[in-house]
Structure formats: C-alpha cells, structure tokens
Structure 1
Amino acid sequence: MSHLPHHLGLPPFRQRSPWIGGDLQTLRDTLRPLRFPPDRAEAMPIPLADGDQLVALLDRPDGGAPIGLVLVLHGLGGSGDGPGPRRLAQALAAEGFAVLRLNLRGAGRGRPLARGTYCALCNDDLGPAVAWARQLAPDLPLYGAGISLGGTVLLNAGLGGLDFDGLVSVSSPLDLGVCAVQFERRRNRIYQRWLMQRLREQTLADPGGLHEAERQALLGPTRARTIRAFDAAITAPRWGFASVADYYAAASPLASLLDGRPLPPTLLLHAGDDPWVPVGPLRQLAAALPSQAGAGAGALPTVVITPHGGHNGFHAPGDGSACWADRLVVAWLRRLSRGQGGG
C-alpha cells in the first residue's frame, strides 16, 4: 500500500516465528510479557476545566536535548503504564524524543483524580493536555502517537483543530460501529470478555460514584456483556450522546477523513489480519486518496497496511526491545522533525 518503510530504511514487515497469524501477533506481549527497566517517568497532573485531573508520565530522552515531544495515548481498557505505550515510549526516548504517556480520563494512575471515563471523542479533555504539553516544551514540535482507540482519539483531536505538528495512529478504529460488530463475532468472544472485565473494573472505581442504572449495567443480572452495550449504558450518556449510534457516528473519524478535512502530517498503520479492528475502513480511505502522501509531506494521510501484524502486534525477526511498528513510528517522526527544523 505504501513504500514508506523502504524510504525510511525499514524492511517490509515479516512475522516472527512462532507468532504467526493475527491472533498470535496480537497476544504475543500477553503470552510473553515484556521486561522493562525500572520506570523512572515523572508523573505530572494536568488540570481540567471541571476541576478533575489527568495524569501524564514524562519520559525524558536518553541523552542530550529532546528533538520533539510525543504525546502517547493508550487504547481501550489500557493506561499509560501498559506495555504498548511503554514499549513505544522507550523506542522514542532512545532516538531523542521526550514522551508524555497520557492516561485518559479515569485510566491508570489518573483513576482517583477524575470522575467519569474517556471516550473516542474527548477533545474537551485532550485540549487542556495539548495546551499543557505546549507549555512544557514551547520550543519543540508536538506530536501525537495513539495505539488502538488512542489513535482514534488523536485523529478526532486533529480533525477538531487541536494543535499538533504530526499524528500517528496504530491499529486504530476509523469506524466504531464496524469495530463493535467485529468484537461481537463468536471468534472474538474471549477478547471481548477480557476487555469488558477491564472496563468494568475501571468504571466501578470511579471516584464520582455510579448511578443505579450504571451499576446495574455493570453488575446486574442483565449487565452489559459487549462493547456496544457498555458504550450504550456508560460511554454515550456520560458524554452527552443521545444513543450509542449517535456516539459512534460522531466519534468515528472516517467520514471526516473521506471529506478531506485538514490534518497535520499523519501516519495511519494497520495490519490486514487485525482480529480486533477491521482494516476495511482504512482500505476505503486509502482508495479514496488521490495519491499517497510522503513522510510528512502535504496534507494527505500516509497509509501503511501490512498483510500481517495483528492488533498492535507487528512482531518481526530481530525486533529487540522495539517491534517493527515502533521502529516505523520513530523513523517517521524523526524524518518529520528534521523537516520541521528539529534533530
């Protein structure tokens, strides 16, 4: 779909044995947990307009002055302490970037400091985080890199005019309704059950408490057992949407991307065998683009679709501490920073 990896000095993605197929690529870090050095990130509270706070974790570059600041967002049910954000942050810091691993509302270390939960369209929360990041490093370019739903959040932020110098999304839903249907397939029953348990625990720990209808949706005899049912009972009403259908329509960036709404330079990476997030919507977008944008050139998104890689897997031979996707993201952002006068 794109010659970008070659232009950035990376080989085409190849699956690493024994992690063959979308499911094993997806589950690799669960079945064989990553070993990280001690986490020396500095926890930083970010005030929100409603008096609550988000928590960001600042990873400084391994040596010298940073060439840019990257806001890294986790996926559904995750946090800034999760293996995906930590692995990407480690790769970015090794190449000279400062990194802010942001916990979205109600996630990770920020759970006690904010009422409610996040959603895919949460610009009211992300706006203060972006402004705070700009104040933290006013002379550096600010990039956003999102994993899974974190990438959707960033795309919505960029489409909404929040101030980024570049965006990256990895394995991110462009159409939330299509993604919900995918999770409801019988083959994905275990995945959905695992995610629902994480969402249930996260929501039950809300310091603002729960309405009785919410508690019944989480714990009652007819409790929500699917992502769609959770979004209907919790996410949509908490964020002021009339229904889950309204939420999915408003928070799915595909239509705006197809309409050509402006974005900063943007990289969209996805695997054709992703078992969680179907690649179809990104293929639809790629087919509609008049041409592939170069690395950081022009307003069109750069689309990279690999045949394999699973959901935020991309485990390739010779990976070391960073997967192939991490290396692609780092190389793309390094080139972008050079084009903007950094590095």
Structure 2
Amino acid sequence: MLARRGEPHPELLQQLGMPSFRQRLPWLGGDLQTLRDTLRPVRLPSDRGEAIEIAVPALPSGMAGSGHLLALFDRPQSTRQARGLVLLLHGLGGSSRREGLRRMACALQTAGFAVLRLNLRGAEPGRHLSAGTYAADCNSDLGPVLLRARQLCDQLGREGVASRGAVPLLGAGISLGGTMLLNACLEPSHARAPGQAVLDGLVCTSSPLDLAACSASIERPRNRVYQRWLLQRLIRQTLADPFGVTVQERGVLNGEKGQSPPATIREFDAAITAPRWGYGDVDAYYAGASPLSALLENPSRLPPTLLLQALDDPWVPAEAAQQLAANMSPSSEQRIQVLLTAHGGHNGFHAIGGCWGDQVVARWLSKFGA
C-alpha cells in the first residue's frame, strides 16, 4: 500500500481510526520535527522497567568474549493481561532511555502491551555488559533476545485469572532498530518452526532499507550538525568499552600517528562496524546489511509489516520505501504496508495531541494483540 507523494493513505488510516498526519506548530518541516524532543523534552513517567540481562555470543570477528545485553521489561499500564509483548529497538546513538523510544513504549503500554526495551551492544545503560558495538545486521545478538522474548510471552500467557497460551510476540524498531528487526525476520534460523515468521507483527519507523543511500544522505552539507552529533556519540561509546579496543581502533578513533579521526558515518563503519561484524569492507557491509533487495525478492519471510516513512526525513531518504511500495505484488502487499507522509521528519510525527507516529504503531500492532 502506497501513499504517493506523501498523500495520506485513507484506507489504512481509516482501518486504524487515525486522521491524516498534520504538523503541529511550531514544529514545521523535517528538521524541527526531528529535533522536537531535543528542543522541548516531553514529560514521561518514571522509568520502572525491570532489568533483564540476556547472554549473547562473541562478535563474528572474534573480538573479546561473550557478554550480555540489557533489556528493560515494562508491563501494561492496565491491570488486565497483556495483549502481547513488543520487542522495541532504538536507533543509531540511542538507548532504552531515549525520549522517543520511551514515549513509544508508553503508548504501547497504554494500548495494553508489555514492552521489552532492548539496549543494543555497546549502548548505555548496558555498555559495561558486553564488548563491541552493534550493526544494522546483528542477528547473532538478536537470536538470544528473540528466544528470551518468547519465554516472556509464555510467562505473560500464564498470568492472570484465565491461563492461556503464549501471547503474540511483536516488534517495533525506530530508525536503525527497524532495519535490525527486518534483517532478523529475514533470517530463517530465528523462526520458531520451519515456515513460521519470526514475529507475529512488525512496525518500522523511519528505518533505512538502503544503508549506502542513507550514509550518502547524512553526509550532505545540510546534515553536518546531525552527523557530528552521531559521530561523537558513536566514538565515545566505542572508546568507553570496558573490555577494551584494539590499538589500531583506538589510533583511528583518536586520530593518532598522523591519522584523521572518522569524519563521516561511512568512515566510522569502515574502521569499526564492518570489520567487527565480519565484513570485508564497508561496501560489503552496506550491501549485506541492507534489507531492500531481500524484501523485493522474497517478502514472504516477513510477518505482517508496516513501514512508516516521512518524505522530509533529513536522515533516511524515502526513495527505498517508495521503490519497495511501487514494486510490490498483490501477494506481497498482504505482508508489507508502506505508509508515506509528506512531513514528519525522522521519527518525529509530532501533531496536536501528541505523537501521531506512536499512535499509528500502537493501533497497527493492536490488530495482532490477544
């Protein structure tokens, strides 16, 4: 399903009981929509997530040893049984504490879902638990996470007045977190049984489908402030590794011995991400970890999936989502829905009454709730 040129998709929005997206003053345009939470933080309840540590193996490159990822488990706001469990992943430079992710988690809790907010490898507040950093395709980490999430689904199904089977396992990914979940769903070994989808439903908000195009977009002169902010977070996160970094990595990141530190996300990925995750170079990483080709060739491996993308996103170009929507067959449209909006920025979607995007995510996933 496609909203051409960012026009509302009336059929899908009508099914969700949602109005078309309208920007809220003064947050007009992609940049202000993107920066709204930074410029004017929203009020959120105290974080009462239950800490869960999930064991993960060593990185494919063999650096350091195995470790753990930290996840925060949030119960539904109501006292009734959970309608399902949503595995919620942050994006590049994010964590379980970021306002956009916590705000989405609150919307899902209000809708009756339990939520598992995962801190990816190297992200605070779980930086001390594992060596290395995450990547767009980190299936070796997400495999154990999915297994633990299914155990929680079984536990939630046994709770309450009437015991029942496991509740649905759903996914929601913000930016690069959505890319990771798409790649996890395309990995057959993660399936609960042959032919079964990894998740029961998935929503990806502002998620890169073509990493090379996304990298080129963030390198545009207009985005130099964004790129500098992301790079500073990534370099600081990498150097803070309590398990250590190699002499070569430290030299590159600190600009030692006449070297210049990474000036772009691509240079960081070439020096750190690609070799750590077993890719020969950054081009191989971008090609191998971009889900667009696999989605075009074989969308049947996905669960029912919604891709939400704004045309004025300053970070993630919309062309890949448009290409996917334009080339879907009638059968693949049953698996993938693409909702494009003219405005909304990068995981912004700030409208009168709150975040329109969060409500789309909660209502769309509610179709699969118990």
Deviation at 1:279, TM superposition (A): 0.3
Q: Is 1:229 matched with 2:264?
A: no
Q: Is 1:324 matched with 2:356?
A: yes
Aligned AA for 1:254?
Answer: L
Q: Who is 2:71 aligned against?
A: 56
Deviation at 1:49, TM superposition (A): 2.9
Residue pair 2:210, 2:286 contacting (<8 A) in 1 also: yes
Give the secondary structure class of the aligned counterpart of 1:146.
strand
Distance 1:102 1:205 in 2: 19
Q: Who is 1:197 aligned against?
A: 232
Residue pair 1:192, 1:226 contacting (<8 A) in 2 also: yes
Q: Who is 2:346 aligned against?
A: 311
1:88-127 alignment runs, 5 A limit:
88-127=104-143
Q: Is 1:219 matched with 2:234?
A: no
Residue pair 1:292, 1:301 contacting (<8 A) in 2 also: no
Q: Who is 2:38 aligned against?
A: 30
C-alpha RMSD of the superposition: 1.2
Q: Note the residue ranges of structure 2 that are not aligned, 5 or more in a row.
A: 4-8, 59-65, 155-165, 191-197
Q: Who is 1:140 aligned against?
A: 167
Residue pair 1:292, 1:302 contacting (<8 A) in 2 also: no
Q: Note the residue ranges of structure 1 that are not aligned, 5 or more in a row.
A: none
Q: Structure 2 length normalisation: TM-score?
A: 0.87
Bigger radius of gyration among the two:
2
CA spacing shift, 1:293–1:16, aligned 2, 3 Å: farther
Residue pair 1:286, 1:303 contacting (<8 A) in 2 also: yes
Q: Who is 1:158 aligned against?
A: 185
Q: Who is 2:28 aligned against?
A: 20
Give the secondary structure class of the aligned counterpart of 1:109.
coil
Residue pair 1:6, 1:12 contacting (<8 A) in 2 also: no
Q: Is 1:257 matched with 2:273?
A: no
Aligned AA for 2:305?
Answer: T
Q: Who is 2:203 aligned against?
A: 168
Deviation at 1:80, TM superposition (A): 1.1
Q: Is 1:184 matched with 2:224?
A: no
Distance 2:330 2:338 in 1: 10
Q: Which moved more, 1:110-119 or 1:29-38?
A: 29-38
Distance 2:56 2:245 in 1: 21
Q: Which of 313, 328, 336 is the matching residue for 2:368?
A: 336
Aligned AA for 2:263?
Answer: R
CA spacing shift, 1:180–1:279, aligned 2, 3 Å: same
Q: Who is 1:283 aligned against?
A: 322
Aligned AA for 2:207?
Answer: S
Deviation at 1:6, TM superposition (A): 1.9
Runs of 4+ in 1 over 3 A off after TM superposition: 291-294
Residue identity over aligned pairs, in percent, reads: 58
Distance 2:307 2:212 in 1: 19
Deviation at 1:85, TM superposition (A): 1.2
State the aligned residue count: 331
Residue pair 1:60, 1:93 contacting (<8 A) in 2 also: yes
Aligned AA for 2:328?
Answer: L
Deviation at 1:293, TM superposition (A): 6.8
